Chains A and B, each alone.
Chain A
Amino acid sequence: MTSGENKKEPGRSIPLWIAVLIPLAAIGLMLALFAFGNPLSLFTANLPPIEDLNLERIKVVDGGFEVTVVNGGPDPVTIAQVLVDEAYWNFSISPGATIPRLGRAIIEIPYPWVETEAHEIMLITNSGVTFVGEVPVATLTPTPGVEEFLAYGLLGVYVGIIPVALGMLFYPAMRKMGRKWLGGILSLTIGLLVFLLVDTFMEGLEFALELPGVFQGIPLILIAALLTWLLLLAIGSQRKKSIGDDPYRQALYVATLIALGIGLHNLGEGLAIGVAFSIGEAALGSFLVIGFMLHNITEGVGIVAPLVPGKKKNGESEEQAESSEQPQEMKRPSIWVFIGLVLLAGVPAIFGTWIGGFAFSPFLTALFLGIAVGAIWQVIVEVVGLLRNYAEQDGTPLVSWMNLGGFVLGIAIMYLTAFLVKF
């Protein structure tokens, strides 16, 4: 053996195609073993199948109920009988009583339901396992007609667009307050975003926990959040090159991000509202609409906060302004910028109420709320970055008393106005 051969790494001599073939052959061998050998017979002896049905949606229709059932278990499930309020009841099921894995079926139950009262629907499978769904308050589920479509859209306008626009009306005042208060206003935005982050995450968890196990609700949310965050990071680092040092474009970018994050949150909020109304859990009172407006006004404030100029205007009191090197003054955004931001943040609420009211899917909702969590997280990171820039320029600490105060105020406003819409 020469010393040269010794240095050679083992396996070097094997051609690539063989190196690839070996693990593939091993996998094939193992699959064949399981397919023909049944090495797990010890574990599968005569156990009843695992059944996991999910009553995804119960529509209250004229003359009865219409239940959408999803089989989230590993085996097909056969629905044998249906009970309403602990009484066996006639029903029909399509496409068939046996639902394949991840398949779904619609069960129609003619039933004399009672307006505003609660009903319980139970499915019993051929092995006697039961699955329950509730109609907390029976009232006709809206069907997508023109009138309902407009009504739900209007609801989205109330909850999304109007409050955001109202919040933005504070912009001139914020501009007048000037640089001195900017840190506090941005901190207030961060407080608002942190509240929305927690709120969105909790809402996502609720939907995730209702999903059949096979969809892995909680990982779904977390991973959707992670991927969204990374995506926005990548987009952001690319954008930084094109934006350069222009403070206006930088501020506009952050404002757009905030509007996007809030828009995603509002879509989730719209979904929740749409579902709640469609299943009769909430009747629309003006009180509720006004509650959502007050709750969401802060969002408008938050979106335009970065657009408040970072440099003091001429004529204002300024010692440090002249001493430090400042980028050029930020220009005043046009009205179209504000309109665009309002639409970005508010319109998703309209889609939310539509989807929630007419085409609700818990899986997509959970996935979507995960995306919103990731987006809001990245927005927080960006706003904190902006705040740090200003702090560095001013030579003040990032967590100053004013910034802390703004942050606490932002959370407090959101928390307290939430009293109007959460029960």
Chain B
Amino acid sequence: MKIFGNNKMNLSRRDFLKTAFSGGLAISGLAGAAATKDALAGQGMDTMQQGSHDHGMPGTVGMVDNAANGFDAQSLLYEWDYGEVSELPNGQILREYNIAAVDKEIEIAPGVFFPAWTYNSRVPGPSLRCVEGDRIRLRFINAGSHPHTIHFHGIHSASMDGVPGVGAGEINPGEETIYEFDAFPFGCHLYHCHANPLKRHIHKGLYGAFVIDPDPSLHPEYEILARQRNHQFPESEEYNEMVMVMNGFDTNFDGDNEFYAANTIAFAYMNEPIQIKRDQIQRLYLVNITEFDPINSFHVHGNFFDYYDHGTTFQPTLKTVDTIMQCQAQRGILEFSFKDFELGRYMFHAHQSEFAELGWMGFFEVVE
């Protein structure tokens, strides 16, 4: 305890208990010693291993001001940035995006404010969505206070890699650059700042999901599956698509996260469960960008899912599992359904209990 810290009365309770029972009492001829012992220590002896069963409730107290943040956990699940779409002379689709790095204080849990670095004033940054083979042209403006970049996980040239010292390198505050490349391979990817020092630029909030839908014409043998994954085709509407970026926040800058979450706000989906329709197939794009910890994980209660690691295959890389783990920057697609299930709340969380209790925990509320 604080008041005694590292100190002289750092007595071992067990040692004393042992001593008291192994002859200590016999030595004492003092009337009253036993009575005192009962009153002082007896309360412990009788109830050993019991303690309190009054549980209280885990979780945070209060609600986050979503309006002040400018985003909320529910809309982060479903919002996609498809870019400005046009056609190049050669027939290729061009998608133009605008992303600005902005310093912004965000409320990551009720009453707890984090001085974040953001892409477009939100953490995670916009979920970019395109189709395999599209030309991506992204104008990046650094409106923040430190040099930043955008580094995409995908196939691109060295000069478009968004790392210090290569191509445009770090973009200084007030400057801008264009990242341009063709979207390959299809799958569930991510982008993040690669400026130095890397750890800080990532954990401060500079990251987002980057999803490339497969082009059915390039995969004739899997055409149906490709159409189901491609947002341009009606077949994809059978799926309820969600994005979760697993992240953490080190609010006291000691190299260890105080908060964990899917999509930034601790316990957001506990306090406001994600409503999903029982008869609809669920597709979850899951990205792990958690800093400081080697892995993060996803576990769903009462159900199993198919997992497509990196989302770069049409066949699941793991079939019928209820828990997967991802190292930092690993990501994948989860597909599952609550068809014919009892209605109600099904929990999902990181199966590192520590992360779960520090905010990375939520509910799917299965409704008609």
- A residues adjacent to B (C-beta < 8 A): 54-58, 62-64, 78, 80-83, 86-91, 97, 109-117, 124-130, 132-140, 142, 147-148, 150-152, 154-155, 158, 202-203, 206-207, 209-210, 272-273, 275-277, 279-290, 360, 362, 422-423
Contacts and interface: CB of A to CB of B under 8 A. Distances in A.
Nearest to A78: B111
Contacts of A114: 49-51
Given A64-B52, A285-B24, A151 B35 contact: yes
Nearest to B249: A128
Contact of A113 (B4, B20, B52): B52
Contacts of B47: 115
A112 B51 contact: yes
Contact of B20 (A124, A277, A284): A284
B7 A287 contact: no
Interface stretch (B58-66, B288-296, B310-318, B332-340): B58-66
Contact of A286 (B15, B24, B109, B251): B24
Nearest to A108: B56
Contacts of A155: 36, 40
Nearest to A128: B251
B1 A284 contact: no
B5 interface: yes
A408 to B, nearest CB: 23
Contact of A285 (B19, B48, B109, B113): B19
B90 to A, nearest CB: 50
Interface residues of B, number: 65
B223 interface: no
Given A78-B111, A114-B51, A282 B9 contact: yes
Contacts of A55: 2
A283 B110 CA distance: 40
Contact of B8 (A133, A203, A283, A284): A203
B59 A89 contact: yes
7 contacts: A88-B59, A89-B58, A91-B61, A116-B49, A128-B114, A283-B16, A288-B19
B274 interface: no
B75 interface: no
Interface string B1-30: 111110111111111110110001101101
Given A81-B112, A90-B59, A276-B9, 18 more contacts: A63-B52, A81-B110, A90-B58, A90-B61, A110-B54, A124-B258, A126-B112, A126-B113, A128-B113, A148-B39, A151-B40, A209-B5, A279-B4, A280-B44, A284-B20, A286-B24, A287-B27, A423-B10
Interface stretch (B94-102, B187-195, B211-219, B354-362): B354-362
B258 A286 contact: no
B266 to A, nearest CB: 7
A148 B57 CA distance: 31
B71 to A, nearest CB: 19
Nearest to A149: B39
A72 B310 CA distance: 50
B256 to A, nearest CB: 10
A155 B26 CA distance: 18
B301 interface: no
A277 B111 contact: no
Contacts of A283: 13, 16-17, 20, 40-41, 44
B85 interface: no
Contacts of A276: 4, 9, 11
The 9 closest A-B pairs by CB, nearest first: A128-B251, A110-B56, A63-B54, A285-B20, A80-B111, A87-B357, A151-B39, A286-B28, A283-B41
A57 B36 CA distance: 24
Contacts of B2: 54-56, 58, 132-134, 210
Given A55-B2, A282-B11, A282-B13, A64 B36 contact: no
Contacts of B1: 58, 133-136, 279, 281
A89 B56 contact: yes
